[in-house]
Amino acid sequence: MIVMELIFYAFSLVLIFAAVAVITVRNPVYAVLFLVLAFFNAAGIWMLLEAEFLAIILIVVYVGAVMVLFLFVVMMLDINLVPFKEGFIRYLPVAALVALVMAIEMLMVLWGKGRFGAEMFPAPMPNPAGYSNTRELGELLYTNYLLPFEVAGVVLLVAIISAVALTLRTRPGIRKQNPSEQVRQRREDSVRLVKMKPEKPKGA
């Protein structure tokens, strides 16, 4: 148990450091990299809590897809950071107040043992060797929560179709590419030869 606690505190410290670095570093590329580090440590904490499925989803979906895509977008775009820093001093007191309230709440949770009634509930028993929370989650999704799961899938499908339809709509003043016309383009359609009489320079 001591080793597990040490590993938990190590993951937690690195997670807090990465989270603070995300909002303090000036380079957006470094901020995304620190966010990826935070996700990795959060996945490690999920593994310690025996939630392997959530840890894998956190790495595959957020780190492997969303954050990598966001990193490439940030690296390719030339982002002007000056407008983002203009209101830093103005909103600093509000941000400090919110941070103070959050810190007080976390200290109340850490030092408030016996005030939340957690001791009334026994510690969960360790799972057997062949236990799989992924299987348990799948059985719950496709038995007890089948209808909400299907509704959520339909809503996501409608959202994807709507996003594609919004990008394909015609708007005035915006040029769009037509790949089929570009492939069928010929030299005669884009280049025109004009015959002109030779001109003599003045004074010749």
Q: Does domain 1-80 have CATH number 3.40.50.2000?
A: no
pLDDT at 82: 65
Alpha helices in the chain (DSSP H): 2-24, 28-48, 52-57, 68-76, 82-85, 88-111, 133-141, 146-168, 179-183, 187-190
Instruction: Evaluate the CA torsion angle 85, 91, 96, 101 in order and state its sign.
Output: negative
pLDDT at 198: 78
- Specify whether the CB–CB gap between 28 and 74 falls below 8 A: yes
What is the C-alpha to C-alpha distance for residues 25 and 168, in angstroms, rounded to an integer?
Answer: 37
Confidence category of residue 116, pLDDT binned at 50, 70, 90: low
What is the C-alpha to C-alpha distance for residues 141 and 144, in angstroms, rounded to an integer?
Answer: 6
Residue type for position 24:
T
- Specify whether the CB–CB gap between 88 and 53 falls below 8 A: no
Question: What are 144-186's pLDDT values in tens digits?
Answer: 999 998 999 999 999 999 988 877 777 677 677 777 777 777 7
Domain boundaries defined on the chain: 1-80, 133-167
Question: What are 63-76's pLDDT values in tens digits?
Answer: 877 777 777 777 66
Per-residue tokens: 53: 């499925």
Question: What are 34-52's pLDDT values in tens digits?
Answer: 888 999 999 999 888 888 8
Report field, pTM of the whole predicted structure over 0.95 = no
